[in-house]
Amino acid sequence: PIVDHPRMTVIGTGYLGATHAVCMAALGFDVLGVDVDEGKIEALAEGRTPFFEPGLPEKLREALDSGRLRFTTDFDRAAEFGDIHFVCVGTPQLPGSNAADLRFVDSAFTELARRMTRKALLVGKSTVPIGTASRITAAVQAVSPLGDELELAWNPEFLREGFAVDDTLHPDRLVFGVSSEWAEGQLRAAFRPILDDDTPLVVSDLATAELVKVAANSFLATKISYINAMAEVCEATGADVNQLAVALGYDDRIGPRFLKPGLGFGGGCLPKDIRAFTFRAAELGVGQAVAFLEEVDAINIRRRVRTVDLVRELAGGSLEGVRVAALGAAFKPNSDDVRDAPALDVARMLYLEGASVSVYDPEATENAHRAYPDLDYASSLTEAVTGASVVALLTEWDEFRDADPAALGELVAARHVVDGRHALDADRYRAAGWEYRALGLPAGP
Ligand code: UGA
């Protein structure tokens, strides 16, 4: 039977899982958050999120106070508690390969299934290669006391870091990949408050649901690389990529969003998702269908190299011994995430060419330092730019947008700025005596 007001577990309390658990509790469900990482569970149970996400800590504390959200590392308790189990663990890129590492997904499902003695729905939310859900269905049925009775559904998640709570509570759409009416009914009950908001729902088979997620992220990555490819053409012709993007975006069929040129995409999702998709498509014998994604990846990486070129040009042809202020380390503003961050990659390349790089990020310094301990980290914008011969804006935090070019000019050794994210007002910088360069724009006066 369908449980009308299901009790939920959320396995994996990273970005996706923690947000999902908190939001489900906010919607009135009883939720148990589960993770193998004791430190994470302890922090969450005390109302602290282990990562920077605007709005989430407040929502977490409300959910804890309501008594509807609890946390544990105990899988026996989870198996007993849930009418629905959401698996939200990570699927990072395998080192030395383009494939996704499915170890955490496999073990989350099997550890749970081994302990399940009453029928409940297993739901995957992680981003996985197509075919994973049906493979795991066979695996969990083999280890669970419930055997063939055990069912799996796939419910991909489309939240953006920085907007995680809002995206979860007000998604553009829900996708339920199911193999029975019971599973669909159980998911409808779990998402009733969101469906009642007239959120569009697509019900599909398991493979389609898996594919929606990677196809969506691939499309977004392609859109970004498209405008960045046009930026390369602009650089060869003296055209202006910002004007181009604005003009293209007025066509409703194209639209202005995700058409922002610059240093390109990074983070824990888009880069590894397009690579894992390429890898999986080749395994399935349809590698050619998504071969263009390799070009999308290559265009994206070339923007980082080109940014280093611009810094070198402004430094007079060599980076050896040049002091550079690298503004930003996170893969995007309002995040402390440095996974595959274009900003840090540029800082690292500058350092490898002999520059003395001072990195400043309002939130991501700690994570950046852990990832690249060799770079110098400043604790303020002022400290980073003081004495610099080139300032490179690499992540478009408001703090950098709002800085006064005249005041910054007093601190630097030379007024040279590379705007890797088209975030600064070029005219204001030029009026304050700066030489301003940006990807896809003419060098200027
Ligand atoms: C992305 C997707 O946008 C979400 O829909 C998806 O759910 C998520 O991945 C995921 O798979 O979990 P996210 O990684 O949080 O979300 O970040 P985005 O806001 O999509 O930005 C990705 C990167 O693209 C950033 O580095 C950003 O600076 C860059 N970007 C974005 C551009 O360079 N230009 C743009 O126009 C937009």
Task: Give residue limits of the domains in the chain.
Answer: 8-204, 205-445
* Closest C-alpha residue for ligand 1 atom 25: 265
* Closest C-alpha residue for ligand 1 atom 7: 158
Q: Which atom, in ligand 1's list, is nearest to the CA of 396?
A: 28
Percentage of the chain lying above the pLDDT 70 cut: 100
**Cα–Cα distance, 100 to 90 (Å, whole number):** 10
| pLDDT per position as a tens digit, 123-174 | 999 999 999 999 999 999 999 999 999 999 999 999 999 999 999 999 999 9
pLDDT confidence band for 274 (50 / 70 / 90): very high
The CATH topology of domain 205-445 is: Rossmann fold (3.40.50)
Residue 145 is given by DSSP the state: T
Active-site residue (options: 23, 88, 234, 269): 269
Q: Which residue do the tokens 């002022």 mark? A: 382
| Gap from CA of 37 to ligand 1 centroid (Å) | 26
Phi/psi for 221 (5° steps) reads -65, -40
3-state secondary structure of 114: helix
Q: Is 260 annotated as a binding residue?
A: yes
Active site residue 23: no
Sign of CA dihedral 40, 344, 332, 277: negative
Q: In which element (H, E) is residue 244 found?
A: helix 241-249
Please report, for residues 24, 106, 144, 280, the alpha-carbon distance to residue 247 in angstroms, rounded to integers and kept in the order given. Answer: 41, 46, 57, 36
| pLDDT per position as a tens digit, 107-123 | 999 999 999 999 999 99
Q: Which atom, in ligand 1's list, is nearest to the CA of 421?
A: 33
Q: How many residues does the chain have?
A: 445
Q: Is 280 annotated as a binding residue?
A: no
**Cα–Cα distance, 371 to 219 (Å, whole number):** 29
Mean pLDDT on 4-18 = 97
Tell whether the model's pLDDT for residue 4 goes beyond 80.
yes
| Gap from CA of 139 to ligand 1 centroid (Å) | 33
Is 264 a pocket residue for ligand 1 (Cβ < 6 Å)?
yes
141: β partners: none
Q: Which of 187, 59, 76 is nearest to 122 (CA)?
A: 187
Q: Which atom, in ligand 1's list, is nearest to the CA of 333?
A: 28
ipTM confidence score? 0.97
**Cα–Cα distance, 248 to 256 (Å, whole number):** 7
**Cα–Cα distance, 278 to 272 (Å, whole number):** 10
pLDDT confidence band for 445 (50 / 70 / 90): confident
Q: Is 272 annotated as a binding residue?
A: yes
| pLDDT per position as a tens digit, 378-412 | 999 999 999 999 999 999 999 999 999 999 999 99
| Gap from CA of 270 to ligand 1 centroid (Å) | 7
Same fold, 8-204 and 205-445: yes
| pLDDT per position as a tens digit, 328-368 | 999 999 999 999 999 999 999 999 999 999 999 999 999 99
Q: In which element (H, E) is residue 436 found?
A: strand 435-438
pLDDT at residue 82, rounded to an integer? 97
Q: What is the mean pLDDT of the chain?
A: 97
| Gap from CA of 366 to ligand 1 centroid (Å) | 22
Is 277 a pocket residue for ligand 1 (Cβ < 6 Å)?
no
Token pair recorded at residue 35: 């993770």
Count CB-CB contacts under 10 A for residue 158. 16
| pLDDT per position as a tens digit, 32-77 | 999 999 999 999 999 999 889 999 999 999 999 999 999 999 999 9
Q: Are 63 and 10 in contact (CB under 8 A)?
A: no
Tell whether the model's pLDDT for residue 444 goes beyond 90.
no
Q: Is 127 annotated as a binding residue?
A: yes
> What's the order of all strands across the beta sheet hosting 435-438?
376-377, 356-360, 323-327, 390-393, 416-419, 435-438
> Please, what's the b/e burial string for 90-108 (b: 16 or more CB within 10 A of its CB; e: otherwise)?
bbebbeeebbbbbebbbeb
Amino acid at 409: G
| Gap from CA of 315 to ligand 1 centroid (Å) | 31
* Closest C-alpha residue for ligand 1 atom 2: 160
3-state secondary structure of 86: strand
Q: Which of 54, 46, 51, 66 is nearest to 17 (CA)?
A: 51
Q: Which residue do the tokens 């080192």 mark? A: 95
Q: Which atom, in ligand 1's list, is nearest to the CA of 223?
A: 36
The CATH topology of domain 8-204 is: Rossmann fold (3.40.50)
Q: Is 71 annotated as a binding residue?
A: no
pLDDT at residue 440, rounded to an integer? 96
Q: Whole-prediction pTM value? A: 0.96
